[in-house]
Amino acid sequence: SDEKGKVLGYRNLSELRQRLSPVMLRRDRRLVADQLPDKTQQRIDLPMTDMQRELHDSALSAAATLAQINKRRPLTPSEQNRMMAALQQARMACDAAGLVDKETVGAPKLDELDRLLDELCVQGGRKIVIFSQWAMMTEMVEQHARALGLGCVHLHGGVATAKRGVLINRFREDDSIQVFISTDAGGVGLNLQVATVLINLDIPWNPAILEQRIGRIHRLGQSDKVQVILLV
């Protein structure tokens, strides 16, 4: 570590592993892959509305301007933040224009979600998990689910850790709760094998986060075939 205590590197890792081996058991997915049910993944491509396209292109144009500056000199911290914010806004516009302008109602992804909820939950009686990176998008999802008469629970960063178990138990044990809606606050460590379908309303930049989302239902204890749907 440096003089401020910041960790710069590691040493003696083989000795650390040796000391831990008698008391730590680690299993990764490779060791249990043959015990997991089949998984299918479906990508559904949807067009953006004119408003979405306008917001998306405007944000990308702002990011491109900063990218050109970066070719001549390093960006300042403020410019880096503006560039990341512009790229984030472009991604948000792909979900729903209302995430950016806070006014526009509806989106093609929400229309497609209504169709999927009707097919899978209303008619099929299945339990599903829905993920989005943005809390505002999950709020829109909850409104659509309840409009279809579906019971749901909603997990986001504002839900206290002590209360998350209650939401999970309701989803597992209450047949009237068919939809589990979550931001990536619920992307790790949750066992939701009672669901057989997972819908991703947006695709994370980091593929490991996507795998963590899918791993909420495609894990040991899952007895049914798992269906993963990506809305793009």
pLDDT along the chain (232 residues), means of 10: 89 94 82 82 97 97 95 94 96 97 95 97 96 95 96 91 89 95 82 95 93 90 92 96
Give Cβ neighbours of residue 62 (< 8 Å, ≥ 6 apart): 82, 83, 86
CA distance 76 to 69: 10
pLDDT at 187: 66
Its pTM stands at: 0.84
Distances (CA, A) of 185 to 50, 94, 116, 133, 161: 31, 21, 24, 9, 10
Q: Give, as one character, the DSSP assignment of residue 186.
A: G
Distances (CA, A) of 49 to 53, 66, 114, 132, 139: 6, 26, 17, 19, 20
Q: Scan for tokens 């939701």, then name that residue.
A: 192
CA distance 41 to 229: 6
Helices 50-72, 77-95: axis angle to 10 degrees equals 160
CA distance 179 to 197: 10
What's the first-to-final CA gap in the chain, in angstroms? 43
CA distance 5 to 14: 23
